[in-house]
C-alpha cells in the first residue's frame, strides 16, 4: 500500500444504475471525455439484471435530462463503457470485474452506493485483487456520527492507504468555494482586516427554496446538520478561517483546514436551534412523528489566534424563501462621535450561489445637506458561465490523477463529526416553521449581532439559472 502517483487506468463505478449516476456521474463522464480528460475504460457495476446495452440507454437518458447529449463525446463515452452485473455479496461479481479490468494496474473504484454497502464492496475488492494499486472514491455521507465515520475509515484502510482514499464533498469541487481561498490569500488588502481585530461576526447561510425532492427516506435519517452543515458548510468555514498554507501541496493545504476544526469546541445545546417545515412529515419516506431537522441555525467559536472571540454562525434550511449560499462578515464599528445606533458597521458579503458576488458595505454621507449617513455596497458580481466545469467532473478528474487537495482527509472528517456529534445525540427540540419563511421564530435565540442577513435573489438571476 504505497503512495500511488500514476493516473488511474480504469474507472469503476458501483451503483451504475442508481440515481447519482443518472443525475451527476454520466454528465460528468461525458464532459470529461469531451475535455480529453477521460480515455480509459469506464466499468459500471450494479445489481439490476441489466446488460451493457441497457446501461448505454440509461447513460443516454441521463444526458438528455441533465446537460444534453454531445453526439461526438457521447459516442466516445459509449465506446469506453463496460458493465458488470451482480450482487455485491457475491465473489463472482468481483471475479467478473477483475476480468473486465484486464491488465489495468491502477483502477479507481468509485463507490456511488449507500454506505451500508461499503464494507462488503471493500472486502470483495481486496479479495478479488482489484484493490491493489487502486484508488477508492467514496461518496457522502461519510458516516452518521463520529463512531461510524471511524468504523468506515477503518474498513477503507484495511484495503487502501489513506493517500489512495478520496472522500467526496462536492462543495470542494465548487469554484466559488475555492475562490474564497484565492480571494483571501491573493489580495493583500484582505489580510489587514480578516482577523479578530476587525471582524465582529461571520455568518454563513445556505438557503434552499425547495423541500426534500422525493428523498424523504434518506433525509429522514439525516437532517440538515448531517446533510449539509457537517460537510459542505464546514468546508466553506474552513476556507474562511484557515491560515495560509506553508506550501501548495495537498497535505499542507489540508493540514490548515484540520487546524481550523481542531480549534472549534463541540457545539453547545444552547447554541443550536433546529426547525422543521410544516408539511415535511407528509413527504413519502418521512416518519409521521419525525424529529429530524430541515433547518438548523448554530453558533460556534473558532478558538485560534486569528479568530478567538469572533462568533461564527451557520444557518441552513429547506423550504426557505430563496436558494442562495452567502457569507456575511460584519466589521467592528469605528469609534466615531455619532450615536452607535446611527452608525451601521462595514461588511464583506461573499455570495457563492446562485451567482458569485463579492460586496463591501460602507458608510457615506447621504445626498442633501443634512448630516445623515447611508450604507452603500461596492459590488463585483458575475454569473457562472454556462460552460463552467461541474464539481463532479472536476473531482473525478482530480481523483483519477491522484490529486487529493479537493478531498476530505480522515482526520478532517473525524474532527467535523466531533464538533456536531454531542449536540446531535442530545437531539434538542424541533420547532416548526412555514415554508417560504426564514425558519422558526425561536431562531432569535441564535442570532448574530446585527441580526441574520437574509439574502434576496433578483428575478434576473433566477431566470439565468433556470435557462
User: Smallest distance, Å, CB 352 to ligand BG6?
Assistant: 8
Q: Which is nearer to ligand BG6, 85 or 208 (CB)?
A: 208
Q: Is 137 helix (H, G, I), strand (E, B) or coil?
A: strand
Sequence-distant (6+) residues with CB within 8 A of 143 are 115, 149, 150, 151, 152, 413, 417
How, if at all, do strands 295-301 and 324-331 pair?
Answer: unpaired
Active site residue 232: yes
Q: Is the separation of the CB atoms in 11 and 400 below 8 Å?
A: yes
H helices then E strands: how many in the chain?
A: 16, 15
- Catalytic, out of 22, 109, 170, 232: 232
Q: Give the whole-angstrom CA distance, residue 122 versus residue 304.
A: 38
User: Smallest distance, Å, CB 208 to ligand BG6?
Assistant: 6
Q: Per-residue DSSP letters for 331-369?
A: EPPP--SS-TTTPPPPEEEEEEESSEEEEEEEEEEPSSS
Closest by alpha carbon to 257, among 422, 406, 393? 406
Q: Per-residue DSSP letters for 10-46?
A: EEEEESTTSHHIIIIIHHHHHHHHHTT---S-EEEEE
Say how far residue 130 (Cα) sits from the centre of its chain.
29
Q: Is the separation of the CB atoms in 248 and 271 below 8 Å?
A: no
The residues facing 295 across adjacent strands are 275, 317
User: Smallest distance, Å, CB 10 to ligand BG6?
Assistant: 27
Name the closest residue to ligand BG6 (Cβ): 227
Residues that bind ligand BG6 (CB under 6 A): 208, 227-228
Q: Is 250 helix (H, G, I), strand (E, B) or coil?
A: helix
User: Smallest distance, Å, CB 321 to ligand BG6?
Assistant: 16
User: Smallest distance, Å, CB 232 to ligand BG6?
Assistant: 6
User: Smallest distance, Å, CB 396 to ligand BG6?
Assistant: 15
Q: Give the whole-angstrom CA distance, residue 245 versus residue 316.
A: 29
Q: Give the whole-angstrom CA distance, residue 200 versus residue 221.
A: 36
Q: How far apart are the first and last CA of the chain?
A: 47
User: Smallest distance, Å, CB 391 to ligand BG6?
Assistant: 7
Closest by alpha carbon to 110, among 173, 40, 168? 168
How, if at all, do strands 107-111 and 135-138 pair?
Answer: parallel
Which amino acids are annotated catalytic? 232
Amino acid at each position: 500500500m504505497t503512495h500511488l502517483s500514476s493516473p488511474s487506468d480504469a474507472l469503476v463505478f458501483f451503483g451504475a444504475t442508481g440515481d447519482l449516476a443518472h443525475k451527476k456521474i454520466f454528465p460528468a463522464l461525458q464532459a470529461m471525455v469531451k475535455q480529453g480528460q477521460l480515455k480509459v475504460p469506464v466499468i459500471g457495476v450494479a445489481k439490476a439484471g441489466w446488460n451493457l446495452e441497457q446501461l448505454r440507454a440509461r447513460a443516454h437518458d441521463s444526458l438528455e435530462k441533465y446537460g444534453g447529449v454531445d453526439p461526438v463525446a457521447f459516442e466516445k463515452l459509449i465506446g469506453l463503457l463496460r458493465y458488470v452485473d451482480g450482487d455485491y455479496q457475491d465473489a463472482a461479481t468481483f471475479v467478473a470485474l477483475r476480468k473486465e479490468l484486464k491488465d489495468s494496474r491502477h483502477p479507481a473504484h468509485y463507490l456511488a452506493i449507500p454506505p451500508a454497502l461499503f464494507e462488503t464492496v471493500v472486502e470483495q475488492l481486496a479479495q478479488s485483487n482489484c484493490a491493489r494499486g487502486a484508488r477508492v472514491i467514496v461518496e457522502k455521507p461519510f458516516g452518521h456520527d463520529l463512531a461510524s465515520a471511524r468504523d468506515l475509515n477503518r474498513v477503507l484502510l484495511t484495503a487502501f492507504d489513506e493517500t489512495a482514499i478520496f472522500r467526496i464533498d462536492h462543495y470542494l469541487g465548487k469554484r466559488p468555494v475555492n475562490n474564497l481561498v484565492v480571494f483571501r490569500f491573493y489580495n493583500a488588502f484582505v489580510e489587514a482586516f480578516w482577523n479578530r481585530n476587525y471582524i465582529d461576526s461571520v455568518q454563513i447561510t445556505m438557503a434552499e427554496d425547495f423541500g426534500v425532492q422525493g428523498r424523504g427516506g434518506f433525509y429522514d435519517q439525516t437532517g440538515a446538520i448531517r446533510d449539509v452543515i457537517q460537510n459542505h458548510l464546514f468546508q466553506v468555514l474552513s476556507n474562511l478561517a484557515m491560515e495560509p498554507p506553508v506550501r501548495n501541496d495537498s497535505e499542507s493545504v489540508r493540514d490548515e483546514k484540520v487546524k481550523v476544526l481542531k480549534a472549534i469546541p463541540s457545539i453547545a445545546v444552547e447554541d443550536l436551534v433546529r426547525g422543521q417545515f410544516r408539511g415535511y412529515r407528509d413527504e413519502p419516506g418521512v416518519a409521521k412523528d419525525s424529529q429530524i431537522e430541515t433547518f438548523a441555525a448554530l453558533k460556534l467559536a473558532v478558538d485560534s489566534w486569528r479568530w478567538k472571540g469572533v462568533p461564527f454562525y451557520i444557518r441552513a434550511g429547506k423550504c426557505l424563501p430563496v436558494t442562495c449560499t452567502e457569507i456575511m462578515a460584519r466589521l467592528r464599528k469605528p469609534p466615531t462621535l455619532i450615536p452607535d445606533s446611527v452608525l451601521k458597521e462595514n461588511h464583506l458579503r461573499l455570495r457563492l450561489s446562485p451567482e458569485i458576488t463579492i460586496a463591501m458595505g460602507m458608510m457615506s454621507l447621504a445626498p442633501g445637506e443634512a448630516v445623515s449617513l447611508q450604507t452603500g455596497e461596492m459590488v463585483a458580481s458575475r454569473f457562472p458561465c454556462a460552460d463552467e466545469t461541474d464539481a463532479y467532473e472536476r473531482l473525478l478528474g482530480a481523483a483519477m490523477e491522484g490529486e487529493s487537495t479537493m478531498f476530505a482527509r480522515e482526520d478532517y472528517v473525524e474532527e467535523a463529526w466531533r464538533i456536531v456529534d454531542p449536540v446531535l445525540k442530545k437531539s434538542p427540540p424541533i420547532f416548526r416553521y412555514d415554508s417560504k419563511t426564514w425558519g422558526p421564530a425561536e431562531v432569535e435565540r441564535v442570532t448574530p449581532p446585527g441580526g441574520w442577513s437574509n439574502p434576496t435573489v433578483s428575478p434576473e438571476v433566477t431566470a439565468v439559472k433556470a435557462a
